[in-house]
A = this chain, B = another copy of it.
Amino acid sequence: MTIDHRDFPRRHLFDLAKGLIYLDGNSLGPPVKGSEDIAYSVIDSEWKKELISAWNTCGWIELPHTVGNLLAPIIGVSLDTISMGDTLSVKLFQVLAAAVEMRPKRKVVLTDSGNFPSDLYIANGLLDTLGRGHQLKITKPDQVIKKINDEVAVVCLTHVDYRTGRKHDMAEITTRAHECGSVVIWDLAHSAGALPLELETIQAEFAVGCTYKYLNGGPGAPAFVYVRPDLVSSIQPVMPGWLGHKKPFSMDIRYTPAKGVGRFRIGTPSVIQFKILEHALALWKNVDLYKLYDQSVVLSELFIAEMKARCPSLELISPSNPTQRGSQVSFASKHAYPLIQSLIDRKVIGDFREPNILRFGLAPLYVDENQVIAAVQILEQVINERVWQQDKYQTKKKVT
C-alpha cells in the first residue's frame, strides 16, 4: 500500500462507504483497504499451499512477537516487549496475577468506577480464585491519586474512560504509585492508536489492550500485553501455555518459561486475524501520533462547540478541557438510545452506552471537520423534527 504524506484525514486508506460518518471506531475500527485480500491470500497461498509447514515457512509461529513489534512504537515501548494473542480479558488476568505476586504482603488492588466493567469482573474473578484475602477497591476516577498508599499492591486502571472519554494522567498516577511501592497496570483499549503514549518513559510495569478499535485489526483481533523488560524474567505466568514455553516442541513435561515477554503466550495464535492486524498496523509507520492527537482535539473541540450551538439540550459529559480527554466525546440525554438509532439510520454511526450516553469516537484518519459539522447538523434535525420519537427507534436491540 502506498501512503501519501498529507496529514489528516487519510480516508482513502480505509474501506468506508461514501457519505458514511463513522464515529464508532472506538468500538470497532473500519477495515484498512486490502484487509480482505490479505485474509484471502493467507488461506490461498499459505494455509492451502504450505499446510503445516507454514508455521515455519510463513512465520506464523512468530506472529505474536513480530506483530507485537509493529505495535511497540504506537504505544511507546521498545521492541521485543510485547506479546500478542487471546483477548484483553485473558491478558489482564495474566498480568494482574503477576502483579499481585510482586507485592505478596499487600492486599489491595485499586481501580476506579471508570474502568471497563469487564476489567472489574476479571480482577474480582482472579482475586477470588487466589483466595488470599485480596480486595478490589473501586474508587472514583478523580480520587485515584489520593487513594494510592503503601497498602496498595496494584493500581489497575483503564487510561481512557469508555463512557466519558475522561483520560487519566498516566505519568502522574504511575509516579505516585511507584512512590508508594505499588505496581501499575494500564488498560489501553481506548488509547492505543488514538493518542501518543509513552509507556516506557513513565516506567509502568504492565499494559494490556485490544487492537480492533483505533488500530483497525478487525472483530476479534488479538490483544496485546506489555511487560517492563526488567521484570519479565522473574514472572511465572499464571496460565503457563505451550507456546510460552522456552522450548515448546521439546514436549517437556515440565514447564520452563520462554525468555522474555513471550512467556505470556498461551496457545495457538489466530493466524488469519493476526495477518489482518499486521496489515492494519503497517500504516502507522507514517503516522505521527502527536499530530494525530492534535487533530483529534481539533475535531472534538469543534464537535463540542457545534453541539453547544445546535443541540443545547444534550449535556456534555466528557471533560471540557481537551487535555483531559481521549479521542471521543460523549453526551448525556434521557433519549440517548432513540437519538443514536435515528442517527444510525441517517448514516451517522455513533454508539449508545447505558444508561443515557451518546458516544462519538473521533479518529482523524477517517473523520474530518466537515463530517463533524454534518453529524451535529443531522442530530439537530433529529431533535428538532422529533424524529427520535418514532416507534422504530424506541425498542432496544440485543446488542449495540
The residues of A with any CB-CB pair to B shorter than 8 Å are: 15, 17, 22, 24, 27-28, 30-31, 35-37, 39-44, 47-49, 51-56, 60-61, 86-90, 93, 97, 113, 116-118, 120-122, 124-126, 128-132, 138, 210, 212, 218-223, 236-242, 245, 248-253, 255, 266-274, 276, 344, 349, 351, 353-354, 397-400
* A41, closest chain B residue (CB): B36
A318 shortest CB reach to chain B, Å? 17
With contact pairs A48-B30, A220-B270, A266-B89 given, residues A238 and B125 touching in the complex (Cβ less than 8 Å): yes
A349–B51 touching, CB < 8 Å: yes
Q: Across the interface, which residues of B come within 8 angstroms of A122, CB to CB? A: 239-241
A340 shortest CB reach to chain B, Å? 11
Q: Across the interface, which residues of B come within 8 angstroms of A131, CB to CB? A: 130-132
CA distance A302 to B83 in the complex (A): 45
| Interface-central residue, A131, A221, A241, by most chain B CB under 10 Å | A241
Q: Across the interface, which residues of B come within 8 angstroms of A118, CB to CB? A: 241-242, 267
A72 shortest CB reach to chain B, Å? 22
A345 shortest CB reach to chain B, Å? 11
Q: Across the interface, which residues of B come within 8 angstroms of A22, CB to CB? A: 51
Q: Across the interface, which residues of B come within 8 angstroms of A124, CB to CB? A: 240, 255
A48–B24 touching, CB < 8 Å: no
Q: Across the interface, which residues of B come within 8 angstroms of A30, CB to CB? A: 47-48, 51
A40–B51 touching, CB < 8 Å: no
With contact pairs A36-B48, A122-B241, A270-B270 given, residues A251 and B353 touching in the complex (Cβ less than 8 Å): yes
With contact pairs A131-B131, A272-B273 given, residues A240 and B121 touching in the complex (Cβ less than 8 Å): yes
Q: List 30 A-B contacts (CB under 8 A).
A: A28-B51, A31-B47, A36-B41, A36-B44, A39-B42, A47-B218, A53-B344, A56-B397, A86-B86, A86-B90, A87-B268, A89-B239, A89-B267, A116-B242, A117-B252, A117-B253, A121-B240, A121-B245, A121-B255, A124-B240, A125-B239, A130-B130, A130-B131, A131-B132, A210-B267, A221-B270, A249-B398, A249-B399, A272-B272, A272-B276
CA distance A44 to B42 in the complex (A): 16
With contact pairs A132-B131, A240-B125 given, residues A218 and B272 touching in the complex (Cβ less than 8 Å): yes
* A396, closest chain B residue (CB): B249
With contact pairs A28-B51, A54-B219, A218-B47 given, residues A268 and B212 touching in the complex (Cβ less than 8 Å): yes
B121–A241 touching, CB < 8 Å: yes
CA distance A397 to B249 in the complex (A): 10
Q: Across the interface, which residues of B come within 8 angstroms of A400, CB to CB? A: 52, 56, 249
Q: Across the interface, which residues of B come within 8 angstroms of A56, CB to CB? A: 397-400
